[in-house]
Amino acid sequence: MADLQQRFSVPLYSVSEAARYVGVPVSTFTTWGRGYVRHRPSGVDSVGTPIVTFVGDAGNGAVVPFVGLAEGLVLAAFRRAGVPLQRIRPALQRIQEELGVERALASQRLYTDGAEVLYDFAEESGDTPEGRSARELVVVRHGQRVFAEVVEAYLHRVEYAPDGYARLIRLPHYRTAEVVADPDRGFGQPVFARGGARVEDVLSMFKAGEPLEVVSEEFGVPLLELEDAVRVALRPAA
């Protein structure tokens, strides 16, 4: 299993790849990893600090380590819940401080304790944009504070290592296929959980003109999963 330092520091994905895997625009993922400065007519700039781990600056090359992909998946979940990042930044800062772990978005502590922290932040913030946004991410179920369904569904896609940080991600958008990003297989590139073939290799054979039945036999991937992978590959970019 890739150790923590490798998951934090070895770039595996370009920004465009990482954005495609979690289902957000490239510009959005770039902002998450590079931050932004927006100049306002008032003369007071709006500054957003980076919130996703990038390693170095390789232009169009790999800059996103595995931990950065895990962080991006969580932010994609918040985005699907309809919460803009600028509204949730103070709550994310609170999570980082209270959980006391580096890169909390990729930590199992977010899954186990993050909803409680967000709920308390929302209560303290009251009827402010930040408080309302944090409140949209959390529900009370059976007396417990838990993440809203759309967020929880994304968090369930992450498996954690004994060190408490993400070690495997089941990528979203697939209906039949189970496609995972695992830093120990295929240099972190998406692979079919059943069969172990890289999605890119399978699609390349299909694009070269081979029928899916032949591709299925060649790589040992069920036909329905191949059809699902083709569907995802052909969908419009986010």
Give 95-110 pLDDT, tens digit per residue: 999 999 889 999 999 9
Q: Is the pTM of this model over 0.85?
A: yes
Residues forming beta bridges with residue 165, ordered by sequence position: 107
Q: Does residue 100 share a domain with residue 13? A: yes
pLDDT, mean of residues 207-222: 94
pLDDT greater than 90 at residue 214: yes
- Same domain assignment for residues 139 and 187: no
- Return the closest-CA partner of residue 64 out of 204, 132, 214, 166: 166
Same domain, 144 and 198: no
Residue type at position 163: D
* Cβ pair 64, 73 in contact under 8 A: no
pLDDT at 69: 98
| Residue 25 DSSP class | -
Same domain, 148 and 76: yes
What percent of the chain lies above the pLDDT cut of 90?
Answer: 79
> Mean pLDDT over residues 167-196, rounded?
94
| Measured distance CA(107)–CA(161) in Å, rounded | 10
- Please answer whether residues 191 and 182 qualify as being in contact, where contact means their C-beta atoms are separated by less than 8 angstroms: yes
DSSP count for the chain of H helices, then E strands: 11, 10
- What average pLDDT score do residues 118-143 get? 93
For CA atoms 207, 208, 211, 214, give the dihedral sign.
negative
- Per-residue pLDDT, averaged over 72-87, amounts to 94
Q: How far apart are CA 234 and CA 238, in angstroms?
A: 12
Out of 172, 187, 219, pick the residue that ends a domain: 172
Domain co-membership, 155 together with 179: no
Q: Are residues 178 and 139 in the same domain?
A: no
Mean of per-residue pLDDT scores for the chain = 92
Burial class (CB in 10 A: 0-12, 13-18, 19+), 41: exposed
What CATH number does residue 205 fall under?
1.10.10
Higher pLDDT, 43 or 193: 193
Structural tokens at position 104: 């909390």
Q: For a pLDDT cut of 70, what percent of the chain falls above it?
A: 97
- Do 98 and 123 share a structural domain? yes
Shared domain check, 237 and 139: no
pLDDT at residue 59, as a whole number: 66
Q: CA 209, CA 229: separation in Å to the nearest integer?
A: 16
Q: What average pLDDT does the segment 227-238 reach?
A: 89
211 vs 236 pLDDT, higher one = 211
Domain housing 144: 4-172
Total number of domains constituting the chain: 2
CB atoms within 10 A of CB 106: 30
* Per-residue pLDDT tens digits for 15-63: 999 999 999 999 999 999 998 777 667 766 677 789 999 998 766 699 9
Whether residue 192 sits in one domain with residue 158:
no
Break the chain down into helix, strand, coil percent, rounded to 5: 50, 15, 35
